[in-house]
Structure formats: structure tokens, C-alpha cells
């Protein structure tokens, strides 16, 4: 299977050739901080390959204090982008950066012990298809 993805501004595009083995929502404090959200949504593969189609030289990668918490991003629009970790053995793809649908469903939530205190019972709050006007 091939998947396509890009950053928000479109300066960087990529393709993933192969399948994802895992899909996790990570609630660790680092993922919450660098996404500005309740969790990061990342796809993982040890077999798929990443191919940059446009803008590879622009991709920036940040390894927080050499902790292994690694984020690649577009320097123009700051969108999260894929990166290869563990000496080239693990491909990590932010699910929201994909332009293609994936058939894999999330395997679970990880780092629940670091979950934000406001991240609970979210299915019980109102849902809107667009920005509410009131």
C-alpha cells in the first residue's frame, strides 16, 4: 500500500510505501506540548519506507534534550512530519499529516499516567460539524 502526505502549506510532500503495524494516541507530556492537544496520533512501522517527494531539504527535526522524543516538522507552517528513528529501524508518521485514508484503527492510548486532567469524558460534551456560531 502507498500513502501520501504533506504539510499544511504544501511545501513538503511525501509517500509511505508499505503498511503500518501500530497506531497509538500518546498522552505523554512531550506529545501534548508539541501538538498543543490532548495527545499525538502516530502511526508506526518497521517495514514501510518513507520517500520524500518535495521539500526534503526543508524538513527540520528536533530531538528534545536527546531524550528520543523526536519531532520532524515544516519550518514554514510548523506541521508535524514523518521521521525515522532507532537507527533507521522505525518509521513514525503523524496520522494527521497523511492525505490518504488508513485502514488501521488505533491500537490504544499510551502514557495514560500523563494524561491532561481535562482529557476525560469527551464523548459526553457537545459535538459540532463546524465552528458553532453561538
Set out the domains of the chain in order of their start, with CATH numbers.
2-115 (2.170.150.70)
- What's the rounded mean pLDDT across residues 31-40? 95
pLDDT at residue 68, as a whole number? 84
Give the HSE-up count for residue 117: Cα atoms under 13 Å, Cβ half-sphere. Answer: 0
What's the Rg (C-alpha) of the chain?
16
pLDDT at residue 84, as a whole number? 96
pLDDT digits 0-9 by tens, 50-104: 999 999 999 999 999 988 899 999 999 999 999 999 999 999 999 999 999 999 9
Mean residue pLDDT across the chain:
96
Task: Name the strand (E) or helix (H) holding 54.
Answer: strand 49-54
Amino acid at each position: 500500500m502507498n500513502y501520501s502526505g504533506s504539510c499544511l502549506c504544501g511545501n513538503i510532500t511525501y509517500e509511505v510505501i508499505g503498511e503500518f503495524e501500530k497506531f497509538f494516541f500518546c498522552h505523554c507530556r512531550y506529545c501534548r506540548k508539541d501538538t498543543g492537544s490532548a495527545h499525538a496520533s502516530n502511526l508506526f512501522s518497521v517495514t514501510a519506507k518513507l520517500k520524500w517527494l518535495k521539500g526534503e531539504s526543508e524538513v527540520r527535526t528536533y530531538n528534545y534534550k536527546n531524550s528520543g522524543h523526536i519531532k520532524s516538522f515544516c519550518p514554514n507552517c510548523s506541521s508535524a512530519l514523518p521521521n525515522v528513528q532507532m537507527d533507521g529501524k522505525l518509521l513514525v508518521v503523524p496520522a494527521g499529516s497523511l492525505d490518504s485514508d488508513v485502514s488501521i484503527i488505533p491500537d490504544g492510548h499510551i502514557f495514560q499516567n500523563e494524561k491532561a486532567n481535562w482529557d476525560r469524558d469527551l464523548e459526553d460534551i457537545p459535538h459540532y460539524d463546524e465552528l458553532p456560531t453561538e
